[in-house]
């Protein structure tokens, strides 16, 4: 907890004490006085101009805590320096303002704690309270503070009675306010039969330990540095310094030992008539001291080691560190408690879910039984339908077998027909080969005729026109030959088509075995294709017969010339016989 948070807690009490009407607002004149007093106790230079400008009289009325905070932060808290003022004087100022309004001790003088002890308890409350407004101290911290006070008086705190008291309070579970805490202490419920002086000493001890960070204090013998004599001094140990005074009133300070992480404490053997000795070693000097007994020496060495450890860890207060650890432990307990409650709730939900699923399972079992009954009925009905369908299929199968037998007979006939067509195609191919040979012979004959014609050019000058006609006939003959080749290619294509038709007929035979109606249609299609093929074959037979009797060019020449040369006639007759 930093200095600003500590100061704000005390100022909050002072502000709420000035709020007489409990409206959350304080008049500007009262805030001026409060601010002026804060300047004084915090040892901050006064800034009357800013004070007057911020709180000048206007029609805005009283100021709330949110309206006062900007001024408080800027002109007061931001200027505070730790160690430049006396914290106890600041707390006394805020306590004086709030105690007049809120603290109400027993008027008959039966209060357990005095007014000064109440102030120290108020300071302890502020230190241990949560950092939330309004300020409360949780039950764990209440028990911790009461145990510290009872331990200082060598009295054991009754924790069960404290729990009963907190449970009876309306807000005891969430925490106690400082006034509830003071009323509880003044009631004497937990400090029965104890003198007020003992309570005051215990409160003072706890106040010094927690607020003033006094880790330990008491009388020790100290050996001087120059005179080397032993003197009894009152020592006060804080996290950063070990101070020693003439007496326990701490009015005359004789010196101090600055502690840091490089210091150490060691136990020394007895010598020079002193026992229970130990020393504190710093960077510049070694301080020898003697305790009254072994227990005191052990307590002092442990306390000094704790102070050195705090310095090494960079911590300024032991109890601030302990408070933070207790707060973290409370948060962890609350987290574990919340997690446990969440786990319990989850288990409860799982149990409810399990019961619900069991009910659903029973419903599913009942539905399954109903479904099994329906399934049996459906199975019986399906079995009957299956038997009827089986009988129907057997009848259809017999019919299909008969149809297959008839189709096989038809396919045998079709295969025989296809075989005849293949033979016919082979004959046509043979004929085509012979035609090609005849054409080659005709070409050779033409070449011979040309050579003879060139040899008898002079004799055939008058027959030049006739030769032109002959050449024209020759061209027609070549075109006819090309046409014949094209027809040959068409015949090949037709033959391939017939082969494809044959393959399709075989596929149709397999499909006929599966579906009778489809086979019938395929058979009819095959018959039509066969008839068309027969027609095509007849057509090509006619064409081939025509090709077997080509036009002889010699005949035309005889008709045209009438009486040509006598030597040319035998050549034409020879050519005609070769073509035949």
Read off the pLDDT of residues 399-457 as tens digits, 9 standing for 90 and up. Answer: 988 998 889 888 999 999 999 899 989 988 888 888 888 888 888 888 888 887 777 77
DSSP secondary structure code for residue 552 in this structure: P
Q: What pLDDT does residue 1 have?
A: 46
**Statement: residue 490 has pLDDT above 80:** yes
Q: Cis peptide before 134, with omega less than 30 degrees from 0?
A: yes
51 CB-contact burial (10 Å; exposed 0-12 / middle 13-18 / buried 19+): middle
Read off the pLDDT of residues 1-45 as tens digits, 9 standing for 90 and up. Answer: 478 888 888 888 888 888 877 788 888 888 888 888 888 888 888
Q: What pLDDT does residue 580 have?
A: 34
- Assigned CATH topology for domain 214-315: PH-domain like (2.30.29)
Q: What pLDDT does residue 296 have?
A: 92
How far apart (Å, rounded) are the C-alpha atoms in residues 290 and 358?
A: 78
Do the Cβ atoms of 147 and 162 come closer than 8 Å? no
User: So where are the chain's domains?
Assistant: 214-315
Read off the pLDDT of residues 201-244 as tens digits, 9 standing for 90 and up. Answer: 888 888 888 888 888 999 999 988 877 888 999 999 999 999 99
Q: 27: how many CB neighbours lie within 10 A of its CB?
A: 16
Do the Cβ atoms of 213 and 174 come closer than 8 Å? no
Q: What pLDDT does residue 573 have?
A: 45
Q: What pLDDT does residue 69 have?
A: 85
Read off the pLDDT of residues 327-377 as tens digits, 9 standing for 90 and up. Answer: 888 889 888 988 999 999 999 999 999 999 999 999 999 999 999 999 999
**Statement: residue 577 has pLDDT above 70:** no
Q: What pLDDT does residue 57 have?
A: 58
Rg (CA), the chain: 65
**Statement: residue 561 has pLDDT above 70:** no
How far apart (Å, rounded) are the C-alpha atoms in residues 181 and 188?
A: 12
**Statement: residue 516 has pLDDT above 90:** no
pTM for the whole structure: 0.56
Confidence category of residue 107, pLDDT binned at 50, 70, 90? low
Question: Helix 516-547 and helix 318-455: axis angle, to 10°?
Answer: 30
**Statement: residue 132 has pLDDT above 60:** yes
**Statement: residue 571 has pLDDT above 50:** no
Query: Lowest mean pLDDT: which of 160-164, 166-170, 227-231, 426-430?
Result: 166-170
Evaluate the CA torsion angle 514, 516, 521, 527 in order and state its sign.
positive
Q: 246: how many CB neighbours lie within 10 A of its CB?
A: 14
How far apart (Å, rounded) are the C-alpha atoms in residues 539 and 527?
A: 18
Confidence category of residue 549, pLDDT binned at 50, 70, 90? low
Phi and psi at residue 243, to the nearest 5°? -100, 155
Q: What pLDDT does residue 566 have?
A: 41
The pLDDT of 33-61, averaged and rounded, is 77
Q: What mean pLDDT, rounded, does the chain reach?
A: 83
Q: What pLDDT does residue 572 have?
A: 38
User: Measured between alpha carbons, how far is residue 85 from residues 3, 75, 82, 550 in Å?
Assistant: 12, 16, 7, 144
């Amino acid at each position: 907890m930093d200095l600003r948070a500590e100061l704000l807690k005390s100022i909050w009490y002072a502000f709420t004490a000035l709020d007489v009407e409990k409206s959350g607002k304080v008049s500007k004149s009262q805030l001026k006085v409060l601010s002026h007093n804060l300047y004084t106790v915090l040892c901050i230079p006064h800034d009357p101009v800013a004070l007057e400008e911020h709180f000048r009289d206007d029609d805005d009325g009283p100021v709330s805590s949110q309206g006062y905070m900007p001024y408080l932060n800027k002109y007061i808290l931001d200027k505070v320096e730790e160690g430049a003022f006396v914290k106890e004087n600041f707390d006394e100022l805020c306590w004086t303002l709030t105690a007049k309004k809120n603290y109400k001790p027993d008027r008959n003088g039966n209060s357990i704690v005095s007014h000064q002890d109440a102030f120290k308890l108020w300071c302890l409350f502020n230190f241990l309270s949560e950092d939330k407004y309004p300020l409360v101290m949780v039950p764990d911290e209440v028990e911790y503070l009461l145990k510290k006070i009872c331990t200082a008086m060598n009295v054991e705190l009754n924790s069960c009675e404290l729990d009963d008291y907190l449970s009876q309070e309306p807000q005891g579970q969430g925490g106690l306010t400082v006034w509830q805490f003071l009323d509880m202490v003044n009631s004497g419920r937990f400090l029965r039969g104890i003198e007020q002086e003992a309570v005051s000493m215990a409160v003072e001890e706890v106040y010094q330990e927690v607020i003033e960070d006094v880790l330990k204090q008491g009388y020790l013998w100290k050996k001087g540095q120059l005179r080397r004599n032993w003197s009894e001094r009152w020592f006060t140990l804080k996290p950063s310094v070990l101070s020693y005074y003439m007496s326990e009133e701490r009015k005359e300070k004789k010196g101090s030992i600055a502690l840091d992480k490089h210091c150490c404490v060691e136990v020394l053997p007895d010598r020079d008539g002193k026992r229970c000795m130990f020393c504190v070693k710093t960077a510049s000097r070694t301080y020898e001291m003697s305790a009254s007994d072994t227990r005191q020496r052990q307590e002092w060495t442990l306390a000094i080691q704790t102070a050195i450890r705090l310095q090494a860890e960079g911590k300024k207060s032991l109890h601030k560190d302990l408070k933070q650890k207790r707060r973290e432990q409370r948060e962890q307990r609350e987290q574990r408690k919340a997690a446990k409650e969440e786990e319990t709730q989850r288990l409860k939900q799982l149990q409810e879910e399990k019961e619900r699923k069991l009910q659903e399972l029973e419903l599913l079992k009942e539905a399954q039984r109903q479904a099994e009954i329906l399934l049996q009925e459906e199975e019986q009905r399906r079995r009957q339908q299956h038997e009827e369908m089986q009988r129907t299929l057997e009848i259809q199968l017999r019919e299909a077998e008969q149809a297959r037998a008839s189709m096989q007979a038809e396919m045998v006939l079709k295969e025989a027909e296809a075989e005849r067509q293949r033979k016919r195609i082979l004959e046509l191919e043979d004929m085509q080969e012979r035609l090609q040979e005849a054409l080659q012979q005709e070409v050779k004959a033409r070449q011979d005729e040309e050579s003879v014609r060139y040899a008898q050019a002079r004799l055939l000058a008058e027959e030049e026109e006739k030769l032109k006609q002959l050449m024209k006939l020759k061209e027609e003959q070549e075109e006819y030959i090309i046409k014949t080749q094209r027809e040959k290619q068409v015949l090949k294509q037709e033959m391939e088509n017939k082969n494809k038709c044959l393959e399709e007929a075989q596929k149709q035979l397999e499909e006929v075995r599966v579906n009778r109606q489809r086979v019938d249609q395929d058979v009819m299609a095959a018959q039509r294709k066969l008839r068309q093929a027969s027609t095509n074959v007849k057509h090509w037979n006619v064409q081939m017969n025509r090709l077997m009797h080509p036009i002889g060019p010699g005949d035309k020449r005889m008709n045209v010339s009438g009486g040509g040369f006598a030597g040319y006639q035998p050549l034409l007759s020879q050519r005609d016989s070769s073509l035949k």
